[in-house]
Structure 1
């Protein structure tokens, strides 16, 4: 048996320790990366995979009660008032269990002006379209241009037929109509919420916010409850 073969793991580690001890910091970093980059990369990839799997499993434990996007808004407060409004206030309003989640994304900024379209804008629009196509989105809150864009393509339910009579009677003067380009039918695609305390309580700034329920939403009952909550009904 050769001396090398007779070495124990302890001896090998001691040799490596002695080598590093006599090196400068720069040389240590080079040596470690040069000789151990494969296990380092493997460990990093494995750790990332474990975190990804854990995150997916953790999130899948929770059923989604409502998914909402708020487009082209700006926070005017350092506090996360949006989470307080939805994940505390609305959750309590509908008596939602802790293990059921409410998804609200108010980070998207989208323009429908071709002269202002950028790669970022296209990416945000693609993300939003994917959410709608996969039936993961229930509610959109946006400016007139956003509601017009999706409403003209039949992207929203007609609130005249969706809202319960008691809610409709209270908000009918605030309904916002858009004409479907394909059918020529004018429907109530949204409801103006600028007169409510929505912006004040969420700490958001936006022009004339309109709330619409996505046409393929699978959670319309909860979306209607959100309208009740916004209007304090």
Structure 2
């Protein structure tokens, strides 16, 4: 082994043997400095999730609603806040189709996981889950002013105790305005009973009402 006599020789010796390691470490540090590392660690914060079952519209259109709702109605410009409306779920509760079971299972799992804050679907689907006790009575959640604004659109279903309650709100007019209604069946919205973001759903209902009012199709403000 070569004997080292001074600091200069020690430095030369170190560089000869460890230069690859030093270059690698310096390159790694430069890469970290160039990357927006805090942004890589930041996960989007889900502010609201809606689901449109048997959707007559494409996902791109639903994304457009969410962008308008977030930026133009809520004035939320935080890029880390996520508002989603899923149109991928499709099944029938009135016809036994084998392929529907996976979709129904997915929907049930999302509900159980508190991942859905608002459901829009046909009357038969909303009625099916209302009878299972899956939705909240809107009259027990909304304040008096909101009840007054929406009571003409309330849709009543029996719950799992056979009591009639306002589990749905008729959104057919909104879909007619946007030319996205695919059938003669009413389009109904309902709030899952275990949703943790009910206040934001009320904001979304007000957003829909504002869009209808803008078109002169309703007296709600």
- Could you state the TM-score of these two structures normalised by the residue count of structure 1? 0.67
State the partner residue of 1:100: 81
Is the alpha carbon distance of 1:133 and 1:58 closer, same or farther for their aligned partners in structure 2, counting shifts above 3 Å? farther
List per-residue Cα deviations over 1:191-210 (Å, max 9, x = no partner). Answer: 001123x4544845353110
**Closer, same or farther: CA 202–133 of 1 in aligned 2, 3 Å:** farther
Work out whether residues 62 and 86 of structure 2, in 8 Å CA contact, stay in contact via their aligned partners in 1. Answer: no
Q: What does the per-residue CA deviation read over 1:32-71, in whole Å, with 9 as the maximum and x for residues that have no partner?
A: xxxxxxxxxxxxxxxxxxxxxxxxx979711111111101
- Higher RCO structure (Cα 8 Å, ≥6 apart): 1
Q: 1:71 maps to which residue?
A: 53
SS class of match (2:132):
coil
Confirm or deny that 1:109 pairs with 2:87.
no
Deviations 1:9-54 (A, max 9, x none): xxxxxxxxxxxxxxxxxxxxxxxxxxxxxxxxxxxxxxxxxxxxxx
Which residue is equivalent to 1:185? 163
Q: For residue 214 of structure 1, what is the aligned residue in structure 2?
A: 192
Please list, as runs of the form range in 1=range in 2, the aligned pairs for 1:1-233 lying within 5 A after superposition: 61-75=43-57, 80-86=60-66, 88-92=67-71, 93-96=73-76, 97-114=78-95, 116-118=96-98, 120-181=99-160, 183-196=161-174, 198-201=175-178, 203=180, 205-206=182-183, 207-232=185-210, 233=221
- CA deviations 1:76-109 (Å, max 9, x no partner) are x7x92221111x2110212222211012111221
The change in CA–CA distance for 1:219 and 1:132 in structure 2 (over 3 A counts) is same
CA contact (8 A) 1:81 1:203 kept: no
Match of 1:123, SS state, is helix
Question: Which blocks of at least 5 consecutive residues in structure 2 are unaligned?
Answer: 1-38, 211-220
Offset of residue 74 of structure 1:
2.0
Question: Once superposed, what is the RMSD of the aligned Cα atoms?
Answer: 2.3
Question: Which residue in the other structure is 2:10 paired with?
Answer: none
* Count of aligned pairs: 170
CA gap 1:168/1:145 in 2 versus in 1, 3 angstroms: same
Indicate the SS of the match to 2:114.
Answer: coil
- Relative to structure 1, the CA distance from residue 105 to residue 219 in structure 2 (aligned partners, 3 Å threshold; closer, same or farther) is same
TM-score, normalised relative to structure 2: 0.70
